[in-house]
Structure 1
Amino acid sequence: MTRTDRATGALQEAHIPVEAKLAAAWTSFMFLYIYVDYLALYKPGFLDDIQAGVVHEFDTGPTFVALALTLVAVPILMILLSATLPARVNRATNLVVATLYIPVSVYNAQGEPWTYAYFYGLSIGLEVLLLAFILRAAWTWPRTVRATAGRDLAQARV
């Protein structure tokens, strides 16, 4: 192969295991999920509401804090689980959790003024796209063909 051939040839696609794709997608989801909440702190009056003990019309007591921690902890754990669970359990877990997080992401815009439509529309759109990627990657997980001992051995000999 000449230098010219290398320069004009197609780039070789790297094979990335499904587990790595899923872990990367959950990592991206978490960064977005956390930064949306962080940037919401800059909305006028948001910090005043927090200091008054209210977020999205919910009292910020122990139940709210536990629920908020759970909503953040699940996707955080999905990064680890996507990289370590056996394939069958991994696929099912990703399909279930990503499906459940679509309404969670959409709910974030509940009760927000239309002036923040772009902010919430963009953030929810990106979160849902990442969740759709997770669903697609898990759904299309490559399968291995199982050999049935007797029939395949007989066909191989022919």
Structure 2
Amino acid sequence: MSAKPAARRLRPLIDGPVPTRLKLGALWASVLFLYSYGDYFELYAPGKLRAMLASQTALGPVSQNALLGMAALMAIPSLMVGLTLLLPARPNQWANIVLGILYTGIMLLAIQDSWPFYKFFGVLEMALTLLISWIAWSWPMQPVPLAITSAAK
């Protein structure tokens, strides 16, 4: 073993701060992966495919409006991946706070009377959406210029 790899292991890595926008976008992407896997695994639950073939959902019969509503419900987190990078800071902050809390509540309702695997995914999803809200709430602010703070006194 040469001295070069040992010296490399001893040097600390540069670990710069991750921008808030990037954190939020990555968390929304993670939430979407969990949604996808939870819904996919749910297809293996006994009777689920039979109900789907009979045009039944957990909320009632399948209709164009019901499918449009479900599509809109899933489109919002999908759009938030990109919107967190594109929206101005203040609307971005509020969108992430409100939608993070809203999707936490939706999942809290969705996991009622569900199988343990779905509750597992749901708890992870709720933890991430609450984290999204918290990161957005604690979004770093620009320092107030000294001239403004002096004038306020």
Q: Same fold (TM over 0.5)?
A: yes
Partner of 1:124: 122
1:58 maps to which of 60, 81, 86: 60
Partner of 2:39: 37
Distance 2:59 2:71 in 1: 18
Partner of 1:46: 48
2:132 maps to which of 114, 126, 134: 134
Distance 1:106 1:139 in 2: 21
Please identify, of 39-48 and 3-12, the stretch whose mean Cα deviation from structure 2 is larger.
3-12
Instruction: Tell me how large the CA RMSD over aligned residues is.
Output: 2.2
- 1:131 Cα offset (Å): 0.8
Partner of 1:146: 144
**Closer, same or farther: CA 150–44 of 1 in aligned 2, 3 Å:** closer
Structure 1 unaligned blocks of 5 or more: 154-158
Partner of 1:79: 81
2:100 maps to which of 94, 98, 101: 98
Distance 2:143 2:59 in 1: 53
- 1:13 Cα offset (Å): 2.0
Number of residue pairs the alignment of both structures matches: 148
- 1:120 Cα offset (Å): 2.0
State the TM-score, normalizing by the size of structure 2.
Answer: 0.86
Distance 1:151 1:20 in 2: 31
2:13 maps to which of 11, 14, 25: 11
One-letter code aligned to 2:58: H
Distance 1:123 1:66 in 2: 24
- 1:135 Cα offset (Å): 1.4
- Per-residue CA distance 1:70-98 (angstroms, 9 max, x = gap): 11001011111111111111111100100
One-letter code aligned to 1:73: A
One-letter code aligned to 1:132: L
Aligned partners of 2:42 and 2:118 also within 8 Å:
no
Distance 1:60 1:46 in 2: 14
Structure 2 unaligned blocks of 5 or more: none
Aligned partners of 1:26 and 1:75 also within 8 Å:
yes
